[in-house]
């Protein structure tokens, strides 16, 4: 694993890493710029190499490096760190773009789904409305039929009453006339 890490580092800096004494501790010139976190979980310190072969090459090290205490031996050239930051930003950008595309697709899907649902609802409503209309028509016909029947019944009652009156009028002279004749 360590050999893989070393292969990523340029040979000049690797050599420099081995010859620790040749590097010079520098003031952190990064200011507010981010620094990598070492395996101890600490923000790294920026050093600048002062070897003749490797003059003024900035690199990050564990903050406990150069201190008389155990440390994780973390090492990363500044260029590589910036590169990794750029890669991370690019990855984030790509991720955001992908997410934006996903959102667009989802929006279209939702719109299509809504449209399908609305169309189905409209069709259902139309079917229900036409059913209601048919029912209303049927009820109207039933009502007219009932009105006709009621009218017929009323007419019939009137007719019966009229016939009754006619019969009474017609029978009156016979009944009372014969009585009169009997009394006489």
Which residues would be at the binding site for Zn ion (CB under 5 A)?
38, 40, 62, 71-72, 74
Q: With respect to Zn ion, which residue has the nearer C-beta, 13 or 65?
A: 65
Q: With respect to Zn ion, which residue has the nearer C-beta, 31 or 70?
A: 70
- Tell me the closest approach of the beta carbon of residue 66 to Zn ion, in angstroms: 12
What is 161-182 written as a DSSP string? HHHHHHHHHHHHHHHHHHHHHH
Nearest to 76 by CA among 32, 1, 13: 13
Task: Decide the pairing of beta strands 45-50 and 55-61.
Answer: antiparallel
What's the rounded Cα separation, in Å, for the pair 19 and 54?
A: 11
Q: Which long-range contacts (CB under 8 A, 24 or more apart) does 104-107 make?
A: none
- Tell me the closest approach of the beta carbon of residue 68 to Zn ion, in angstroms: 14
- Tell me the closest approach of the beta carbon of residue 64 to Zn ion, in angstroms: 5
- Tell me the closest approach of the beta carbon of residue 73 to Zn ion, in angstroms: 7
Q: With respect to Zn ion, which residue has the nearer C-beta, 25 or 148?
A: 25
Q: With respect to Zn ion, which residue has the nearer C-beta, 69 or 184?
A: 69
């Amino acid at each position: 694993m360590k050999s893989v890490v070393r292969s990523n580092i340029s040979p000049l800096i690797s050599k420099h890493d081995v010859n620790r004494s040749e590097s010079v501790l520098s003031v952190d010139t990064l200011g507010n710029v981010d620094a990598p976190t070492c395996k101890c979980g600490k923000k790294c310190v920026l050093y600048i190499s002062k070897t003749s072969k490797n003059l003024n090459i900035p690199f990050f090290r564990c903050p406990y490096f150069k201190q008389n205490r155990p440390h994780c031996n973390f090492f990363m050239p500044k260029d590589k760190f910036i590169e990794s930051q750029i890669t991370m930003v690019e990855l984030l950008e790509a991720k955001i773009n992908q997410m934006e595309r996903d959102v667009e697709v989802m929006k279209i899907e939702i719109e299509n789904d809504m449209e399908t649902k609305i169309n189905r609802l409209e069709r259902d409503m139309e079917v229900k409305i036409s059913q209601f209309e048919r029912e209303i028509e049927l009820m109207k016909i039933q009502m007219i039929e009932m009105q006709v029947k009621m009218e017929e019944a009323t007419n019939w009652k009137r007719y019966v009453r009229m016939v009754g009156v006619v019969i009474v009028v017609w029978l009156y002279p016979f009944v009372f006339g014969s009585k009169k004749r009997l009394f006489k």
